[in-house]
Amino acid sequence: MRRAVIENEEARLNALRDLHLLDTPPSESFDRITRLASRLFNSTVSAVSLTDSDRQWFKSRVGVELAEIPRSEAPCAYALTSDEVFVVSDMREDPRFKDGILAQAGIRFYAGAPLITREGYGLGTLCVIDDKPRDFTREDREALADLAAMVMSQVELQNALGCIDSTSGQANENQLFQDLEDLAKRAPGETRTALLVEFASLSQVNHGQRVLGATYTAFIRQGTERIRCLLGDLRVYHVGPARCVVVLGEVGPEEWRKIVDDLVKGLRITITCAAIPLTPQPVFGVYAFQVDAVAPRDVLRRLFNAADDARGSGEQAATYNVGQDLAHQRRFQLLNEIGPALEHPDELRLVYQPRVELRQGRCVGAEALLRWRHPTLGDVPPAEFIPLVDDTAFTGPVTDWVLDNAIRQRALWSKAANLRRVSINVSARNLEDAHFTERLAAVLERHGVTPGAIELEFTESVMLTRSTRILNEVAALRELGVVMSIDDFGTGYSCLSYLQRLPIDLIKIDRSFVSQLVTNTYDQKLVRALITMAHDLGYDVVAEGVETRETYDILVYWGCDEAQGYFISHPLPPGEMQPWVYPQKVAPSQAS
């Protein structure tokens, strides 16, 4: 069936340009079809030839070195205006072509099937060319037309896949992935350097979008456009709100630094968006890779990593760093897997570290400390995973797990007359949860434990937030009867007058001040002053990290109330706590 071909040249050119095919790298999906055409017709040359305003540009070609020829010389232009295969059996015999450069170069035969969009725009041809005159049968014409239809399916597929970013009109990450795959096939073993330009940080983008709404896209569009202009012929991929990637050749540090410097200079000019002047603040991620050795998605991920490192370190540009990447991946894995670990009975457990009252050396408490044995990573220390968890919504479920298990254990120790409390660590985020006190009260009730048998430790960071919600929660917990303490005291920057207003019962001096106490005179003055001050304010004092008999004795001498540390005991599984919880005799120096 014949189709109407639209002859409006301007509209045709717009349609062609909107497809973003001109001047793009070769692509296996098109090359496959041209190779097939060459084999099928046994032709010297076959090509997917796109008709630009003044040239035929070859998206894919077999048997010819030239990337383009002048439009006026090419028979392709004739094929454009009809939907039929256009054939010149012998150029030397055809007055339209016999004096043209193709005939002069020895070309005799041409057959071109037009590439026509659904809307009816002719983009160019799939053509086969030979250096001898030929006949082209009806079957040949049909076969060439079928192959041209395959080329058009490919064009449509690429468009349907969404290879263009709708904000900037630039190629997007899908296109980057396709081009990297093509590059891997075309140039195996070769190295390329990819550059990611981030011209505004994610928080700047969020802020901009919040203030300017949809108008902010003008900043994104102009930013990417400026990068495209500054990079000349190189294809720019728009891969994130304010992130563009460009794949350079095999360049060394000097060359990419020069490109970075030029981009920095070019991007520094203010962009006005809704009358608000915005200046791009670019950072760069750089990654050199062997094209067939790294998956395209990893190339992009590594560029993101490098750019994040640059932003995080305050550098203009950072190269991809395997160590940092592995650390990121480990953090990501831990965060992903802490949720399932809560359901897995073998992975998480609590150990308890005895706390002794210093005057008589009796064990009066135990601190519950979380342990995670990851199935593949082994033991992961809480100092590594707790700070990660604290930044996320997992902090609630993790603390709930600890509360439930520690309070259950406290109930099992209900006959231990000396054991006043089991202490449990909670984070600031837990205290921001308006239902925390309610939930704790429910757990206590479920296990039949009185609130006074539990102590909650939180760090000074809680006080630094000065959030009234947190302070109300601390007050509510204390009202419930739970003992409240400040952990790692001395490591934050809390103000003493503020401390006085906090509804707490005791402070735990951080182990960094205690571990060198015997030799460090500065620590001695500080710890002594802290003990006096805390007592004056009406708080009990616990020293953490007591590792030697000498430290223990000094603390007794200075009137510190309680202590915890390896000298007394390492943290123990509940089964090994028996001698501490039900002591035959008091022996704080057992571990020495």
Residues that bind ligand C2E (CB under 6 A): 353, 369-370, 381-383, 386, 402, 425-427, 457, 487-488, 511, 544-547, 564-566, 571
- From the list ligand C2E, Mg ion, none, pick the one residue 494 interacts with, judged by a Cβ distance below 5 to 8 Å according to partner type: none
Contacts of 506 (CB under 8 A, 6+ apart): 483, 485, 486, 534, 539, 540, 541, 542, 561
Phi, psi of 368 (to 5 degrees): -80, 125
CB of 470 to ligand C2E, least distance (A): 15
CB of 511 to Mg ion, least distance (A): 6
The smaller minimum CB distance to ligand C2E, of residues 365 and 571, is found at 571
Find, among 445, 461, 343, the residue nearest to 398 by Cα.
343
Phi, psi of 130 (to 5 degrees): -140, 160
- From the list Mg ion, ligand C2E, none, pick the one residue 381 interacts with, judged by a Cβ distance below 5 to 8 Å according to partner type: ligand C2E
Pick from 198, 308, 337, 487: which binds Mg ion (CB under 5 A)? 487
Pick from 457, 460, 523, 547: which binds Mg ion (CB under 5 A)? 457
- The span from the CA of 235 to the CA of 559, in Å, is 72
Pick from 83, 337, 488, 523: which binds Mg ion (CB under 5 A)? 488
Sign of the torsion formed by the C-alpha atoms of 391, 394, 398 and 399: positive
- From the list Mg ion, ligand C2E, none, pick the one residue 353 interacts with, judged by a Cβ distance below 5 to 8 Å according to partner type: ligand C2E
CB of 459 to Mg ion, least distance (A): 8
Find, among 497, 556, 567, 495, the residue nearest to 531 by Cα.
556
- From the list Mg ion, ligand C2E, none, pick the one residue 565 interacts with, judged by a Cβ distance below 5 to 8 Å according to partner type: ligand C2E
Query: Starting from the edge strand earliest in sequence, which strands make up the sheet with 317-319, in order?
Result: 236-240, 243-248, 191-198, 283-290, 317-319
CB of 425 to ligand C2E, least distance (A): 3
- The span from the CA of 76 to the CA of 56, in Å, is 8
The smaller minimum CB distance to Mg ion, of residues 267 and 514, is found at 514
- The span from the CA of 83 to the CA of 477, in Å, is 81
- From the list Mg ion, ligand C2E, none, pick the one residue 566 interacts with, judged by a Cβ distance below 5 to 8 Å according to partner type: ligand C2E
CA 409-538-560 angle, to 5 degrees, is 65
Identify whether the C-beta of residue 110 lies closer than 8 Å to the C-beta of residue 77. no
**Using CB under 5 A, which residues numbered 28 to 67 contact Mg ion?**
none
**Window of 123-131, 257-265, 519-527, 543-551 that interacts with Mg ion by CB under 5 A:** 543-551
Place of tokens 């007050």: 475
CB of 506 to ligand C2E, least distance (A): 14
In this structure, the number of other CB atoms found within 10 A of the CB of residue 430 comes to 24
The smaller minimum CB distance to Mg ion, of residues 457 and 547, is found at 457
The smaller minimum CB distance to Mg ion, of residues 271 and 486, is found at 486
CB of 565 to ligand C2E, least distance (A): 3
**Using CB under 5 A, which residues numbered 332 to 361 contact Mg ion?**
none
- The span from the CA of 248 to the CA of 81, in Å, is 39
- From the list Mg ion, ligand C2E, none, pick the one residue 463 interacts with, judged by a Cβ distance below 5 to 8 Å according to partner type: none
Q: In the beta sheet, which residues pair with residue 62? A: 46
**Window of 124-132, 443-451, 493-501, 540-548 that interacts with Mg ion by CB under 5 A:** 540-548
The smaller minimum CB distance to ligand C2E, of residues 123 and 444, is found at 444
Per rule CB under 5 A, count of chain residues that contact Mg ion: 5
**Window of 19-27, 152-160, 412-420, 425-433 that interacts with Mg ion by CB under 5 A:** 425-433
Find, among 73, 134, 63, 68, the residue nearest to 104 by Cα.
73
The smaller minimum CB distance to ligand C2E, of residues 285 and 545, is found at 545
The smaller minimum CB distance to ligand C2E, of residues 179 and 487, is found at 487
Pick from 125, 170, 425, 515: which binds Mg ion (CB under 5 A)? 425
Query: Starting from the edge strand earliest in sequence, which strands make up the sheet with 45-51, in order?
Result: 68-70, 55-62, 45-51, 122-130, 109-116, 86-88
- The span from the CA of 323 to the CA of 52, in Å, is 48
CB of 489 to Mg ion, least distance (A): 8
Work out the burial of residue 457: count CB atoms within 10 Å of its CB; fewer than 13 is exposed, 13-18 middle, 19 or more buried. buried
The SS3 call for residue 460 is coil
Place of tokens 């008589």: 360
- From the list ligand C2E, Mg ion, none, pick the one residue 370 interacts with, judged by a Cβ distance below 5 to 8 Å according to partner type: ligand C2E
**Window of 171-179, 396-404, 426-434, 483-491 that interacts with Mg ion by CB under 5 A:** 483-491
Pairing mode, strands 236-240 and 348-357: unpaired
In this structure, the number of other CB atoms found within 10 A of the CB of residue 332 comes to 11
- From the list ligand C2E, Mg ion, none, pick the one residue 151 interacts with, judged by a Cβ distance below 5 to 8 Å according to partner type: none
Asked if residue 455 binds Mg ion (CB under 5 A), the reply is no
Find, among 194, 199, 294, 178, the residue nearest to 250 by Cα.
194
CB of 220 to Mg ion, least distance (A): 46
CB of 227 to ligand C2E, least distance (A): 44
CB of 385 to ligand C2E, least distance (A): 9
Residues lying near Mg ion in the complex (CB under 5 A) are found at 425, 457, 487-488, 544
